[in-house]
Amino acid sequence: MTHDEIRDSIAGYALRALAVEDARDVEAHLATCDECRRELALFRDAAATLAAGFAPVEPPAALRGRVLDGVRPRARFGRLGTGWTIGLAAAAAVIVMLAGLAVSLEQRLGALTGRVESETQALALLADPASHVVTLSGSAAGSVRFVFDPTTGRGALVAIGLRDPGPDFVYQLWLVAGATPRSAGVFRPASGTAVIVAVGADFPRYQAVAISVEHGPNGAARPSTAPVLAARLGGG
Whether residue 173 is predicted with pLDDT greater than 80 in this model: the reply is yes
| DSSP output for 144-192 | EEEEEETTTTEEEEEEESPPP--TTEEEEEEEEETTEEEEEEEE--BTT
pLDDT (tens digit per residue) in 3-48: 878 877 776 777 676 788 888 888 999 999 988 888 787 766 655 5
Output phi, psi for 199, to 5 deg: -135, 135
pLDDT (tens digit per residue) in 190-224: 877 788 888 889 999 999 999 999 999 999 999 99
DSSP 75: G
C-alpha span between 188 and 178 (Å, rounded): 27
The residue among 16, 199, 24 whose CA lies nearest residue 6 is: 24
Domain map (residue ranges) of the chain:
3-107, 132-232
Whether residue 66 is predicted with pLDDT greater than 50 in this model: the reply is yes
Confidence at residue 227, expressed as pLDDT on a 0 to 100 scale: 93
Whether residue 133 is predicted with pLDDT greater than 50 in this model: the reply is yes
| DSSP output for 178-231 | TTEEEEEEEE--BTTB-EEEEEE--GGG-SEEEEEEEETTT--SS--S--SEEE
Cα torsion 99, 101, 106, 107 to 10°: value is 120
Q: Which residues contact 64 (CB under 8 A, 6 or more apart)?
A: 96
Burial class (CB in 10 A: 0-12, 13-18, 19+), 212: buried
Output phi, psi for 179, to 5 deg: -100, 15
Cα angle, residue 42 at apex, residues 32 and 25 outer, rounded to 5°: 35
What is the SS3 assignment for 132? strand
